[in-house]
Amino acid sequence: MINTLDKTDTELKKDVLSELTYEPSVKVTDIGVLVKDGMVTLNGYATSYIEKWSAVNAVKRVAGVKAITDEIEVKIPDLDRRTDEDITQAVIDLIAWSTTIPLDVVEVVVSDGWVSLDGEVEWWYQQNAALNLVQQMAGVTGVSNRISVQSKAVKMAIEKDINSALKRSAIVDVDQIQVESANNKVVLRGDVRSFAARDEAERIAWSEPGVCAVDNHLGVNWSSIVE
Q: What is the pLDDT along the chain (227 residues), one digit of tens a residue?
A: 344 557 899 999 999 999 999 999 999 999 999 999 999 999 999 999 999 999 999 999 999 999 999 999 999 999 989 999 999 999 999 999 999 999 899 999 999 999 999 999 999 999 999 999 999 999 999 999 999 998 877 667 899 999 999 999 999 988 999 999 988 899 999 999 889 999 999 999 999 988 999 999 999 987 654 44
- Residue 63 CB contacts under 8 Å (≥ 6 apart), including other chains: 4, 7, 15, 194, 222, 225
- Residue 53 CB contacts under 8 Å (≥ 6 apart), including other chains: 135
How far is CA 3 from each of CA 34, 193, 211, rounded to the nearest angstrom? 22, 12, 37
For residue 142, tell me if it sits in a domain: yes
Q: Are residues 128 and 94 in the same domain?
A: yes
Q: Domain of residue 113: give its range.
A: 78-149
Q: Are residues 88 and 143 in the same domain?
A: yes
* Amino acid letter for position 42: L
DSSP 26: -
pLDDT at 221: 83
Q: Are residues 125 and 63 in the same domain?
A: no
Backbone angles phi, psi at 121, to 5 degrees: -130, 170
Backbone angles phi, psi at 146, to 5 degrees: -105, 20
Q: Are residues 19 and 55 in the same domain?
A: yes
For residue 119, tell me if it sits in a domain: yes
How far is CA 193 from each of CA 2, 11, 189, 223, 224, rounded to the nearest angstrom? 15, 19, 13, 8, 7
For residue 227, tell me if it sits in a domain: no
Q: Are residues 82 and 32 in the same domain?
A: no
DSSP 100: S
What's the CA angle centered on 98, arms 95 and 99, to 5 degrees? 145
Q: Are residues 163 and 182 in the same domain?
A: yes
